[in-house]
Amino acid sequence: MRFGIVRFPGSNCDQDCFKSVTEGLGEEAFYLWHRQTGLEGADVVLLPGGFAYGDYLRAGAIARFSPIMKAVEAFARRGGPVLGICNGFQILCEAGLLPGALARNAGLRFLSHDVHLRVECTDTPFTNAYREGQVLRMPLSHGEGRYVADEATLDRLEEEGRVVFRYVDEEGRATDRANPNGSLRSIAGVTNGGRNVVGLMPHPDRAYHEILGSADGLGVFRSALEAAAGAAS
Amino acid sequence: MPREGILDPEGQTIGRALGELGYEEVGSVRAGRVIRLTLEADDEREALERTAGMCEELLANPVIEDYEIDVREVGG
């Protein structure tokens, strides 16, 4: 299984994604430069964290015009699995592949610490290796991670079970205190209507091995494998 | 400018600082950004239309931001 990792000028978690796939999962990963127009046969596309285009204007606003995004959009519309982590999530929202937007953290500070996440749905290619309600620990690292959408959109996401991850405390409760950035309804990750595109602000790629403090994030990548195996059988 | 109803922590922080400076009459503060650009257009209406397109497509994120356009004629 081949994971294509898109590199924008300013991406800085591309290697974290690469190692998650190659060392954590034992699968093949390769980089795709943002000027490319094709995905070189990738089975899964990863948009890594970082500061594409220096976050100019808004995080993700310029990156979505990179030539490769046309191919990513076409791939996503065909049902191809696409995962956006942190800045990658911001890019997917700006590109309209995921609903909502990521605004400045409520506390205005750049946050960099571990959080607990609750897996809200397991029927996506990036969460099927988890149990529903499972609590994961992984780091986040962002200044603009406050998930925002209008009430109607939020209600629709809830009804359709498209909230993928929520910020919770260690016991799995979505309290205000456990919500690091003021995200509406404690949303940390969402999926699209086709359930093949997922974005989240925390970093599973920085939690793929115990040596990093947590291996809870590896399941995100492993899920893609299981989704492919399921599709093939 | 952050849309009405969207939490604006930056505006709130500026508002608190103004209060501490003694400007107690200040009510709500919203913080946005100004983008100044020049363009060629036959008339104000055309300039407005083109700029509105730019706001919708790139300059603003309509999910969280409102925008206002102010057109002025400059030499050239």
Query: Which residues of B are less than 8 Å from A93 in CB distance?
Result: 63
The sign of the torsion formed by the CA atoms of A203, A209, A214, A217 equals: positive
Q: What is the pLDDT of residue B76?
A: 62
Query: Which residues of B are less than 8 Å from A105 in CB distance?
Result: 9
Q: What is the pLDDT of residue A231?
A: 77
Contact check, Cβ <8 Å, A57/B64 = no
The sign of the torsion formed by the CA atoms of B28, B61, A146, B13 equals: negative
**Which residue numbers of A have CB closer than 8 Å to B's CBs?**
57-58, 61, 65, 93-94, 100-101, 103-108, 146, 148-150, 182
Report how far residue A83's alpha carbon sits from residue A88's, in angstroms, rounded to the nearest whole number: 8
Report how far residue A229's alpha carbon sits from residue A190's, in angstroms, rounded to the nearest whole number: 23
The strand pair at A101-103 and A111-119 is best described as unpaired
The burial class, CB within 10 Å (0-12 / 13-18 / 19+), for B40 is: exposed
Report how far residue A207's alpha carbon sits from residue A133's, in angstroms, rounded to the nearest whole number: 19
For chain A, the C-alpha Rg in angstroms (whole number) is 16
Residue-wise pLDDT tens for chain A (233 aa)?
Answer: 999 999 999 999 999 999 999 999 999 999 999 999 999 999 999 999 999 989 999 999 999 999 999 999 999 999 999 999 999 999 999 999 999 999 999 999 999 999 999 999 999 999 999 999 999 999 999 999 999 999 999 999 999 999 999 999 999 999 999 999 999 999 999 999 999 999 999 999 999 999 999 999 999 999 999 888 887 76
Which helix (H) or strand (E) is A28 found in, with range? Answer: strand A28-33
* A199 DSSP β-pair partners: A84, A190
Q: What is the pLDDT of residue A165?
A: 98
Q: What is the pLDDT of residue A103?
A: 95
Q: What is the pLDDT of residue A6?
A: 98
| B2 DSSP assignment | B
Do residues A201 and A102 make contact, with C-beta atoms less than 8 angstroms apart?
Answer: yes
Q: What is the pLDDT of residue A130?
A: 98
Report how far residue A174's alpha carbon sits from residue A63's, in angstroms, rounded to the nearest whole number: 32
Residue-wise pLDDT tens for chain B (76 aa)?
Answer: 898 888 899 999 999 999 999 999 999 999 999 999 999 999 999 999 999 999 999 999 999 999 999 999 997 6
Do residues A116 and A172 make contact, with C-beta atoms less than 8 angstroms apart?
Answer: yes
Nearest to B58 among A61, A93, A108 (CB): A61
Do residues A59 and A49 make contact, with C-beta atoms less than 8 angstroms apart?
Answer: no
Specify whether the backbone of B5 is left (phi greater than 0), alpha (psi in -120 to 50) or beta. left
Q: What is the pLDDT of residue B50?
A: 97
Token pair of B11 as six digits: 């505006």
Q: What is the pLDDT of residue B52?
A: 97
- Which pTM does this prediction carry? 0.94
Kindly identify which residue of chain B lies nearest to residue A62, measuring between CA atoms: B58
Do residues A198 and A14 make contact, with C-beta atoms less than 8 angstroms apart?
Answer: no
Q: What is the pLDDT of residue A233?
A: 61
The burial class, CB within 10 Å (0-12 / 13-18 / 19+), for B45 is: exposed
Q: What is the pLDDT of residue B5?
A: 85
Q: What three-state secondary structure class fits A34?
A: coil
Report how far residue A198's alpha carbon sits from residue A179's, in angstroms, rounded to the nearest whole number: 20
CB-hemisphere CA count at 13 Å for A123? 7
User: What ipTM does the predicted assembly reach?
Assistant: 0.83
